[in-house]
Amino acid sequence: GQQLNQSPQSMFIQEGEDVSMNCTSSSIFNTWLWYKQDPGEGPVLLIALYKAGELTSNGRLTAQFGITRKDSFLNISASIPSDVGIYFCAGLVGGADGLTFGKGTHLIIQP
């Protein structure tokens, strides 16, 4: 089946630093999504990308849909304590397919 390789697995950063994480795949996806999950809760959608090459921002978050349609990255600028959590990328081929999720990037912010 399809797989998404998400990296890094975890990040330990200082408050105020910028963060970058990415997802790659051996197969093409037509939609890329980035979710954040806090402990005990469901994933919350951060950014959705629908076109190859698309660059989209949501506040301090910026994500891009790779031109090859096989990768995507998420950047967080000037991290704050509430950014702590697990970030998941997810890809969709189309139609009625379910999302394929990466294994997540744990973001830990040291004061």
Partner 1 sequence: NAGVMQNPRHLVRRRGQEARLRCSPMKGHSHVYWYRQLPEEGLKFMVYLQKENIIDESGMPKERFSAEFPKEGPSILRIQQVVRGDSAAYFCASSTTAGTGKAPLHFGNGTRLTVT
For partner 1, the binding residues (CB under 8 A) are 4, 6, 31, 33, 35, 40-45, 48, 50, 88, 90, 92, 94-104
Which of 44, 55 has the CB closer to partner 1? 44
Considering the complex, state which of residue 35 and residue 73 has its C-beta at the smaller distance from partner 1: 35
> Does a cis peptide bond (omega within 30 degrees of 0) precede residue 111?
no
Can you tell me whether residue 48 is helix, strand or coil?
Answer: strand
Residue 89 dihedral angles phi and psi, to the nearest 5° = -95, 155
CB of 59 to partner 1, least distance (A): 17
Bond preceding residue 8 cis, omega within 30 of 0? yes
| Closer residue to partner 1, CB minimum distance, 31 or 64 | 31
